[in-house]
Amino acid sequence: MAFVRQRGVVMTLPSKLNTDAKPSLQTQKNQRIIKELCASTIRSLTSNASLHYRGTSLYQDTKPLALHAMHLQQHAAAIQVNNLPVLRGNIDAMALRLIHSNPSLHQSLLPIEPIARLLFEMLEQFRAESLVPNTMPGMAQNLERAFTHWSNNFYQSGLTETRLGIMLYTLAQVCRSKLMLLPVSPMTEDLIEATRASLTPIIGTALANLRRQCHSQSGFAKYALQIATLMAAILNDEIDAQQQLANDDNDDSTQKTLRAFAIIIEFDDGEDNTIAKVITGESKILASSKQGYQVFSKDYDKEVQAKDLVRKALLQEYRQKLDQQINHQAINIKRIAKQLVNVLGTRKRDTWQFGLEEGYIDGRRLSQLVSSPTERRLFTLEQDKIEADCIVSFLIDCSGSMKQHTEAVTVITDIMTHALDIAGVTTEILGFTTNTWNGGRAYKDWLKQGKPTHPGRLNEVCHMIFKDADNSWRRARHNIAALLKTDLFREGIDGEAVTWACQRMQNRAEKRRILIVISDGCPMDTSTNLVNDTFYLDNHLKDVVNNYQQQGNVEILALGVGLDLSPYYRRNLAIDLSQQLDNQLFFEIVKLIASK
């Protein structure tokens, strides 16, 4: 085990690496622990309780924090392989950037040209790192180790063998050396000497002023922009020359260099690109509204039992079809239930077991010791019973885009509900949609009233109950099959549905409440989006989830159907339903429930 000590925070990190192509369950667990401890350290250093990890990206509430400095791009890889020296330095570098850099001011000054942006980002990060307190020498050492690791990797990659690479590398070394008052990397000091000499007449004056202005972000930016602009022009000229060379001579090494350099300068907003992420933005109407989220009319909203929307004979047919699909999947439901007991169960004192050969002495049997000295069954032990004082509610997005996933989602929901029922956990299955497309009667009423501006939600919501908390899975199994009736699926008002589901659980006596939202995208209602703005419902969902997360009385999780829902839900799992369902998927869902 290895230890990381940061300003009163001691982190214990697993140090054994796993080099398998597919990480083992233990390796995945170690990575989760590392991310949690990294986040706790950054929260401690910055005094910002809203910082957390989603995937390998750092988030503040629902917003990803994009830190684009070149040497911080190694952070995701360091998490994957438990590279502790790099992680320590990156954690400290991120914390210093959050403490000393105003993101709004930085964004307003950021150049448009890509290479200039890259260099300006790098210089601002160096400025923040130069402000490390003198009382924290360990932090300074961590920063230096992480930067040295990046420098060595850059050098060993072969990029310094090209004019493009050596200029970029030299600039990074010289600027950081100037700001941190440290020598350049001794490994490459001789390598960069000629390039450093050629750059000094060009950026020397601005470089000399960087250190003097390091405590003023705006003052520093003046000289950082000069360096970024001058160097971007030189580098762009070199790129044009190398592209011309590649076109004329078809030089594979030149093409390789250009591709590698393009990867370096490409900004990806700090997001993970392994799976598509939901597109989100800011709603100006919701942000500027003093009343907050509005609903034009609730007169046509309804809450219904899903079984009442499906003919009884059709419901039985759906249930038979669902049972056939579940049997075909060969899922080990009892094993899932056992895992859920371990995750959600709590031990409670139940009774005492007597007549044992070890344990506490049973005073009532001491007379037997006198009458029968060889008697050993004089002890008693307290027996514990595992109980799950918990309710898990599944909230299913019944919008039109979910129709293609209906069968798989129904199978997942039914199996998880069955397993939770075996584990003694109370469950609910809820769904949300609208009564009609494009607003319906609420939209018509809005037209009759002269189209008042910013009316808020402008459709008829329909909240459906497929299984309530008072019924067991066995009694409700036919009703669950109503999920297969896809003509119920229309549009989705997610924020109000989450509020409805959470309020239902808050009225229950169970101590722990977990809501699992199953969705394939962002909230969508055509009439509401057209009359307000594109992200009106989107931002309302974020606000609702954040409020419940801050209250802490309901845990909100999400299963993203082919989509990363992390902009909305802190604890989420993206699932691929194009493949056959297997036990591993359900084990991952159990791990999601277990995470906190």
pLDDT in tens, 390-405: 999 999 999 998 999 9
pLDDT at 393: 97
pLDDT band at 495 (very low <50, low <70, confident <90, very high): very high
Least confident of 54-58, 77-81, 122-126, 267-271: 267-271
Neighbours of 303 (CB within 10 A): 12
pLDDT at 559: 95
Whether 11 has a pLDDT exceeding 60, the answer reads no
What percentage of the chain reaches a pLDDT higher than 70? 87
How many angstroms separate the CA atoms of 82 and 22, rounded? 15
pLDDT band at 246 (very low <50, low <70, confident <90, very high): low
pLDDT at 185: 83
Nearest Cα neighbor of 276 from 560, 582, 570, 585 is: 560
The helices-and-strands tally (H runs, E runs) of the chain is 21, 15
Q: What token pair was written down for 472?
A: 């067991």
pLDDT at 255: 55
Instruction: Name the one residue in this structure whose structure tokens are 């910082």.
Output: 51
Mean pLDDT in residue range 23-44: 76
Whether 25 has a pLDDT exceeding 90, the answer reads no
Provide φ and ψ at 374, rounded to 5°.
-85, -5
pLDDT at 62: 65
Provide the 3-class DSSP secondary structure of residue 277. Answer: strand
Instruction: Give the length of the chain.
Output: 596
> Residue type for 51, please?
L
**326 and 430 share a domain?**
yes
Provide φ and ψ at 382, rounded to 5°.
-80, 135
Residue 526 in any domain: the answer is yes
Neighbour order of strands in the sheet with 379-387: 346-356, 379-387, 360-361
Whether 297 has a pLDDT exceeding 60, the answer reads yes
Neighbours of 476 (CB within 10 A): 22
Residue 302 in any domain: the answer is yes
pLDDT at 248: 57
How many angstroms separate the CA atoms of 256 and 243, rounded? 11
pLDDT at 577: 86
**359 and 412 share a domain?**
no
Mean pLDDT in residue range 231-235: 88
Domain boundary among 203, 234, 265: 265
Mean pLDDT in residue range 375-390: 76
Residue 570 in any domain: the answer is no
Nearest Cα neighbor of 567 from 280, 302, 296, 308 is: 280
Residue 180 in any domain: the answer is yes
Q: Which residues pair with 430 in a beta bridge?
A: 395, 465
**201 and 294 share a domain?**
no
**369 and 448 share a domain?**
no
pLDDT band at 264 (very low <50, low <70, confident <90, very high): low
How many angstroms separate the CA atoms of 69 and 21, rounded? 28
Average pLDDT score, the chain: 84
Mean pLDDT in residue range 381-395: 83
**527 and 479 share a domain?**
yes
Quickly list H helices, 250-297: 252-265, 284-288
pLDDT band at 213 (very low <50, low <70, confident <90, very high): very high
Residue 322 in any domain: the answer is yes
Top-confidence residue, 18 or 310: 310
**15 and 73 share a domain?**
yes
Provide the 3-class DSSP secondary structure of residue 207. Answer: helix
**381 and 414 share a domain?**
no
Q: How many domains does the chain have?
A: 3
Nearest Cα neighbor of 462 from 503, 430, 485 is: 430
**190 and 156 share a domain?**
yes
Cα–Cα distances in angstroms (integers) from residue 250 to residues 145, 256, 260, in the given order: 39, 11, 17
> Residue type for 380, please?
T
The rounded radius of gyration (Å) of the Cα atoms in the chain is 30
Residue 565 in any domain: the answer is no
**436 and 474 share a domain?**
yes
How many angstroms separate the CA atoms of 80 and 17, rounded? 9
Provide φ and ψ at 451, rounded to 5°.
55, 60
**322 and 462 share a domain?**
yes
Whether the CB-CB separation of 229 and 221 falls below 8 Å is answered with no
Cα-based angle 45, 51, 55 (whole degrees, multiple of 5) = 120
Residue 279 in any domain: the answer is no
pLDDT tens digits for 138-149?
A: 999 999 999 998
Which of 29-33, 80-84, 132-136, 258-262 has the highest mean predicted lDDT (pLDDT)? 132-136
Residue 443 in any domain: the answer is yes
**190 and 261 share a domain?**
yes
Q: What token pair was written down for 442?
A: 């609420």
pLDDT at 362: 74
**371 and 403 share a domain?**
no
Domain range for residue 332? 284-340+394-491+500-511+518-540
Whether 257 has a pLDDT exceeding 60, the answer reads no
